[in-house]
Amino acid sequence: MNIEQVILTGLTNGSIYALIAVGFVIIYNVTGIINFAQGEFTMLGAMIVISFVDFGFNMITAAILTIIIVMGISTLMYGLAIYPLKNTKNSLTTIMVTMGLGIVITGISLLIWGTEARPLAPFTGNRPITFLNASISHQDLWIIGSCAVLVLFIYLMFEKTYFGMAFRACMSNKEASRLMGISTEVMAMLAFALSAGIGALAGIVMAPVTFAEYDMGMMLSLKGFVAAVLGGLTGAPAAIIGGFVLGILESVGTGFISSGYNDFIAFAALIIIMLIRPSGILGHKSIKKV
């Protein structure tokens, strides 16, 4: 395997991890909750879009409906299980609840879709494109492209709109946001909806390359979590970088050592980063809160 190929594979997987990690940090920064059901949004995105396509919907309609449905599920999840915990100080409780929600979603998915892995045809052509010394499939380009478009969308929304500014304010200082009259509960609900939409998009674009299975969410949650922690859990840009770092680490590991080390690498990276740089690879932008 050559270095160009390793990097391209890393970018493709990294895009998926980046999308899941962005979902993590958006929820974490607005609510303080580590949402271990994050990967389930991606699983649901993949499963639901395949069902729509099987029903005969075209890809675009299927994708839009899927994103809306997953955002709805997430909003419901927030209202029924997360909002009632708003006065809970114990973060272990909320982590247990999100893990429990993940298990519930997995269980329901098993009932609906069964255990078999479901395929989806690539969005466009089958023939790989050769690029430098590497080859890349159309679907990989779709994955990298969606990640790029989403990053741009998030950037514009957060940085260029008043609403995005209020959203960042909640991520920055919840108490002060309340004093401004910002409803932090509404923002938290929107954070869940937005993260779910991003997660579902990741599932939709990755479905043609991985096969979708009802139980793929947990591992995706963990990978996304590792990527988010690599980035330091501070914000969307850091999470995206964390996602790419993890993707490239994995592809270097599988390309040069063995493909059996894929998951091992992610967790080894997590442990090492926790030991030597708990604030993430980007370090802490330590702005003193006087």
Partner 1 sequence: MLEVKQLNVSYGHVKAIHDVSFHVKNGEIFSLIGANGAGKSTLLLAISGVLSPQGGEILYNNHPVQEKNVRYMVNQGVTLVPEGRQIFYDMKVKENLMLGAYRHKKKINILEELEKVYELFPVLKTMESRIAGTLSGGEQQMVAIGRGLMSNPTLLLLDEPSLGLAPLVIKEIFLQLEKLRKTGVTIILVEQNAKAALKISDRAAVLVRGKIEKIDLAENLFQNQNLHEMYVGTAVNK
**Could you list the residues that contact partner 1 (CB under 8 A)?**
162, 165-166, 168-169, 172-173, 175-183, 285, 287-290
CB 187 to partner 1: min, Å: 11
Q: Which is nearer to partner 1, 127 or 288 (CB)?
A: 288
Helices of type H across 82-216: 91-113, 138-160, 162-172, 174-179, 184-210
Q: Are 247 and 17 in contact (CB under 8 A)?
A: yes
Contacting residues for 210 by C-beta, under 8 A, at least 6 apart: 46, 216
- Nearer Cβ to partner 1 (27/187): 187
Residue 33 CB, shortest distance to partner 1, in Å, is: 20
184-210 vs 59-77: helix crossing angle, rounded to 10 = 140
Nearer to partner 1, 55 or 162 (CB): 162
CB of 177 to partner 1, least distance (A): 8
Report residue 62 as tokens: 């299927």
Provide the sign of the torsion angle of the four alpha carbons 228, 148, 217, 247, taken in this order. negative
Token couple for 113: 């879709």
Partners of 118 in the β-ladder: 212
Complex with partner 1: residue 181 or 260, whichever CB lies closer: 181
Per the rule left: phi > 0, alpha: psi between -120 and 50, beta: everything else, 212 is beta
Q: How far is the CB of 183 from partner 1 (least distance, A)?
A: 7
Which of residues 71 and 187 has its CB atom nearest to partner 1 in the complex?
Answer: 187
Closest approach, Cβ 191 to partner 1, in A, equals 17
Instruction: Report yes or no: 30 and 169 within 8 Å, Cβ to Cβ.
Output: no
Nearer to partner 1, 127 or 289 (CB): 289
Residue 283 Cβ vs partner 1, minimum distance, rounded to whole Å: 14
